[in-house]
Structure 1
Amino acid sequence: MKVLIPSFYLILFLLISNCSTNETVIEDVTEIESVYFPTVDGTNWETKSINSLNWNESQLQPLLDYLEEKNTKGFIVLHDGKIVIENYFNNHDIESNWYWASAGKTLTTAISGIAQHENLININNKVSDYLGTGWTSASIEKEQLITCENLLSMTTGLDDSIGDSVLPENLQYVTDAGERWAYHNVYVKMQDVITQASNQSWSNYFNTKLRDRIGMTGAWIPFSDLSVYWSNTRSMARFGLLMSANGKWETSQIIPENFINEATSTSQDINRAYGYLWWLNGKNTYHLPQSQLEFNGELIPNAPSDMFAALGKNDQKTYIVPSKKLVIVRMGEAADNSNFALSTFDNDLWEKINLLID
């Protein structure tokens, strides 16, 4: 056991030790548990017991029963990077792939931060600087108001009611960029920006700069005008761990920490609960997809206030809670009804989680 020594006596002890013929070693009195990272080759991922965290183990099985009942396929809880809970349900297993849906938007955010650090892009620049004019149906004057940051913060001012396509005929002007928050697939134009700026395919740049460096598996699968990321549940957990560690994997800074701080902070004054494609808890108000209404209260009241989350269609979830050193991943079918991002399942799930961890 290490003993804390008052500073005066510590100095006196060191002086006496230096005068002695016997060399004395003082151990550091501070113990800091470092974040654990699994091997990149996927051969090892250490675990941690519920008992070691003093969690309420009697609440584990009710949580797992609830997850299975709610159409879950994969569920992982990490604490300081180590696996505390990992379960698969409904014909899913550790190797099974599933779609991230809009939870994968945050992968585009991460790559944007990397590309900016490499001086390939600047998110404050106009989208047309990289794609040329005519990528929307707006006038050139209005189109050139749209920056890459507008894409990441969902404030392009383009119409979100026409459909999922991001062809120019579907990207029509509603109001000036920055004046309206609307959840829209137009964010994928950031992938086109990075493709043009890097002179590489989106998949190749993504794989070499992020996926392969942290041991993720998976691929972007074309769907309509978009690509949707598919992977196993552990790969989603690896990305969550990278974000939890402020963009660092072991000794390598994969995503700049200052960019992560920007991405997980309120990005505009309209939807306080939205960063750069990340959802933010703990704000006083929030907006939801396909609505211009403002709702009072926190996004997920039962979740910790400092939590930020990747939320995808039909309840694909990655929750990151810095204060509790937690990364929680849920993949599966919709828990109840089909949804775009947030659902009542989020708050209900956190009620169950709190019974376990509190």
Structure 2
Amino acid sequence: MSKGLSLCFLVVLSVCARAETWPGEQWSSGPSLSGPTLQALEAYAFAPRNDSTRAGIRTDALLVIRDGQLLYERYCAPTTADTPHLTWSISKSLMAAVLGVAYGEGLFKLSDPVLKFYPALGKHPAISMADLLHWASGLDWQEDYEYAPLKSSVVAMLYTRGHSNMAAFTASHDAYAEPGQVFRYSSGDSNLLSAALKAIVGPTRYADYPWNALFEPLGIRDATWEADASGTFVASSYAYLTARDLARIGLLMARDGRWGERQLLPKDWVAFNREPFTGYKAHQDATVPGGHWWLNRAANGAAQPWPDAPADTFAALGHWGQALYVIPSENLVIVRYGDDRDGSYSHNTLLRLVRQAVAGRVQP
């Protein structure tokens, strides 16, 4: 072999080896971020906090993973590397991953009616598993939060009349559209999926299933997932993971459901998660729903919601600024936990600043 070919061969081997780095008990470290681009990122993400007003951008944790290696990690007290942080609606995407393992076991199909697994949905027999994953059940649900608590379905589900059995509370809602036709974001849809999972895997496996099926294979050792009084995991809201452990979910999704030599999630399941819901009617600056994940895709004439990130970027997002971003084309996984209360945080700005810091350059 010539010297030139040998050099090319070594470069290819080096790139492949770097791309196949996997975390053990701890993440291995890659080249640290530094310089003006890092300073710009930190000035944005970790601006001085005013805990009396809770105004502005309030980052609790920020991790940047490239090629399976930890490039950057910073926390703001009281959050530390060992803190299982409330993920809020990132829990929805975690449930999608758990369901993906069951799907790979051949326990259900996307076309299956949810009624097959959850009889309490009897007055809505046409809702399928795919409909719930697209937040397209057609149930008349109001996903309003602090600004409109009196008419909010989700506030009632989590805190008042629906909190003891959240799936049954959701199933009691009337329909406003045919299933699978209209996107309406619904924490109730996610909790119906969690209730269906109980029958899909069986009640004896259910209590430990997220750990046995997903967390333990990924090396996640300290996860908490609260259940309601019926014993159903609150898939909409109440999973807690450290930032480092949440990054493992991101790496799994970045690599099409593979973890080491094991195809933990079927590739077609991950493809479904990352495919836009065809019934989505786009409006400006809105992220596009996939299969319980959010996509940076143009839809029905609207531009990409995060123009400073590649179109293949997708994310799990939660209330008050929780975010798990995955950029497969750049081998990037970004975890951001926060306590934002005023809407000033910008996904696009953080993604731009992280990408600039990784590239080590400043752009206007």
Q: TM-score, normalised by structure 2?
A: 0.79
- The aligned counterpart of 2:62 is 75
Q: 1:171-196, CA deviations, whole angstroms, 9 ceiling, x for partnerless residues?
A: 22101101211000122211111111
Query: Aligned to 2:349, what secondary structure does the other structure show?
Result: helix
Q: CA RMSD in A?
A: 2.5
- How many residue pairs match? The answer is 311
Of the candidates 120, 123, 128, which is equivalent to residue 107 of structure 2? 120
- Cα–Cα, structure 1 residues 171 and 251, in superposed 2: closer, same or farther, change >3 Å? same
Of the candidates 185, 192, 195, which is equivalent to residue 195 of structure 2? 192
- The aligned counterpart of 2:274 is 264
- Cα–Cα, structure 1 residues 179 and 67, in superposed 2: closer, same or farther, change >3 Å? same
- Cα–Cα, structure 1 residues 122 and 49, in superposed 2: closer, same or farther, change >3 Å? same
Instruction: Return the letter of the residue paired with 2:176.
Output: V
Deviation at 1:202, TM superposition (A): 3.8
Instruction: Return the letter of the residue paired with 2:253.
Output: M
Q: 1:202-237, CA deviations, whole angstroms, 9 ceiling, x for partnerless residues?
A: 441111000011111211024698351001111111
Unaligned runs of 5+ in 2: 48-56, 143-151, 158-165, 283-287, 360-364
How does 1:206-355 map onto structure 2 within 5 Å?
206-216=210-220, 217-222=222-227, 226-227=234-235, 228-271=238-281, 273-285=288-300, 296-334=302-340, 336-337=341-342, 344-355=345-356
Rounded to whole Å, the distance in 1 between the matches of 2:319 and 2:86 is 9
- Cα–Cα, structure 1 residues 28 and 356, in superposed 2: closer, same or farther, change >3 Å? closer
- Cα–Cα, structure 1 residues 121 and 87, in superposed 2: closer, same or farther, change >3 Å? same
The percent identity for this pair of structures is 24
Q: 1:16-71, CA deviations, whole angstroms, 9 ceiling, x for partnerless residues?
A: xxxxxxxxxx97784323321111xx2x32111147xxxx7321123123212221
Rounded to whole Å, the distance in 2 between the matches of 1:2 and 1:48 is 29
Instruction: Return the letter of the residue paired with 1:313.
Output: H
Structure of greater relative contact order (alpha carbons < 8 Å, 6+ residues apart):
2
Q: TM-score, normalised by structure 1?
A: 0.80
- Cα–Cα, structure 1 residues 78 and 218, in superposed 2: closer, same or farther, change >3 Å? same
Unaligned runs of 5+ in 1: 6-25, 286-294
Deviation at 1:296, TM superposition (A): 2.6
2:182–2:279 CA contact under 8 A, matched in 1: no
Instruction: Return the letter of the residue paired with 2:351.
Output: W
Query: Aligned to 1:4, what secondary structure does the other structure show?
Result: helix
Structure 1 residue ranges (4+ consecutive) displaced by more than 4 angstroms after TM superposition: 26-29
Rounded to whole Å, the distance in 1 between the matches of 2:255 and 2:173 is 36
Rounded to whole Å, the distance in 2 between the matches of 1:122 and 1:184 is 21
Single out whichever of 311-320 and 276-285 deviates more from structure 2.
276-285
2:133–2:291 CA contact under 8 A, matched in 1: yes
Larger radius of gyration: 1
Single out whichever of 114-123 and 144-153 deviates more from structure 2.
114-123
